[in-house]
Amino acid sequence: MFRKLRLSYFSLYNANYTTRVAVDPILKENFDSKVFKPRKHPGTTRIKIAAIPPDIQKAIKIVLDDGGAKAMHEDSVQLNNYIRSRQLPPEEGDIDIKAQKIHDRISKKVYADVTDELDEDQAKMYKEKLQNKVFNALKKSVYRWANISYDKSTCLQYLMSRAALEYAVLIRVLDEIKRFHPDYKPRSFFDFGSGVGTGTWAVNQLWPKAIYEYFCVDTSASMHDLARLILCQGKDNVEMPLKAYFQRQFLPASTELQYSIVLSAYSLFEMPSMQARLETIQKLWNKTEDYLVIIEHGSNAGFKIVNEAREFVLNLPKDSKSGSGYAFSPCPNDNVCPRYMEQETPCNFLMKYESLPYVGKADIHADLFSYVILKKGSRPEDDPKWPRIVRAPIVRSGHTICRLCTAQGELKEVIFSKGKYDATTYRCARSSNWGDLLPVK
């Protein structure tokens, strides 16, 4: 039984025991001269655990104390659980199909005991009975999606339960840009669904004093007020430290202005349909000068949204007005996502973060997220296209098993053993973690 389960598990990953890889030849000399060490190879994710900067934490404490947030702790936990478990809104066509299937299944039971022809009154009675059963069954099986209304108290609950998590994920994802383009300095930042301002905190941490314009869009006026208050050290009488800081409740109609980095983090769940999501992605891509960053929960639903955005942008015509692009991260290719095509599990990653020390002491937590960074232009010819580790490596005595998404758009499972690989390749694999790039060819 165990053997069958084990084989079934490995078969998910196109396990290829004859696949041979080696450290990228371009890096070999650097490894030999010890410029790079396998434990800190160039594909390693630099940010393992993240915490909100101390000045922002201090401002948050002032805001939460003034808002009487301690009494809302339980509500904040419930809000976070609800947000993490949300599903996508059902599409109209999907509901019709489901209703028809339920109708066909129930009608057989309702009319199963009817052998004679029904008179008019009987037919009407059975029809009403059938409609009621179908309606009741449909209510139970269709997800009841709704927008979250963020008033002042809900915003404070969101700040308590979500800010530390979202900031950590943002700093991890945006560091991908800084890590591989260390000389890049964004001049402007556009945040769709800006919430309490975590996106602004993250870009200021990574590129201090580089950004000259911030444009934040959120439908909740209370969110805007809270985000501004935190930037002003939690006090109403302090001047806004960011001069060109703009807040709007809706996406601007103009498509002329573009921004260095455009971000949508945990926001596309608020769109009522796939059409609305894709229309929003098109508008955000139009506003992108360099990078469009999409982040969602690491659930199946969150990954579906991220993959929608990825496929939509990568399939835009090269001569389109908004311009073409490629998958900068996490994908080493622009093919259809193999995880989406072949498996029912999402492409997600794990991020550890330090909770706010507001209710109890700060503690280390972890959460899953899905993301894609899309870059304007064509993939450079010198892009190394190193494979991405898409699940936690299995480390055993004498060998390590890595699950990789490759430049060919395939999922591969490679067993790195001491006997079959050189020391550098083996140690790089053994030192790598979930989400790292493995610098091999």
Give 187-212 pLDDT, tens digit per residue: 999 999 999 999 999 999 999 999 99
pLDDT digits (tens, 9 = 90+) for 17-68: 457 899 999 998 999 999 999 999 999 999 999 999 999 999 999 999 999 9
Does the global pTM surpass 0.85? yes
Strand partners, 405: 388, 411
Q: Give whole-number Cα distances, 78 to 23, 74, 355, in Å.
A: 47, 6, 16
Q: What is the pLDDT of residue 116?
A: 54
The mean predicted confidence, pLDDT, of the chain is: 90
> Distance (Å, rounded) from C-alpha 381 to C-alpha 401?
30
- In 10 A of CB 68, how many CB atoms? 10
Element holding 400 (H helix, E strand): strand 399-405
Q: Are strands 245-248 and 213-217 parallel, antiparallel or unpaired?
A: parallel
Predicted pLDDT of residue 16: 45
What residues of the chain score a pLDDT lower than 50? 1-17, 115
Q: Tokens at residue 165, please?
A: 């998590």
pLDDT of residue 170: 98
For residue 255 the two structure tokens come to 């498509």
Q: Residue 429: which H helix or E strand, with range? A: helix 423-431
Q: How far apart are CA 298 and CA 83, in angstroms?
A: 12
Q: Which helix (H) or strand (E) holds 216?
A: strand 213-217
Instruction: Give the pLDDT score at 5.
Output: 37
Q: Phi/psi class of residue 80: alpha, beta or left (left: φ > 0; alpha: ψ in -120 to 50)?
A: alpha
Predicted confidence at residue 322, as pLDDT, reads 82
Position 206 scores a pLDDT of 98
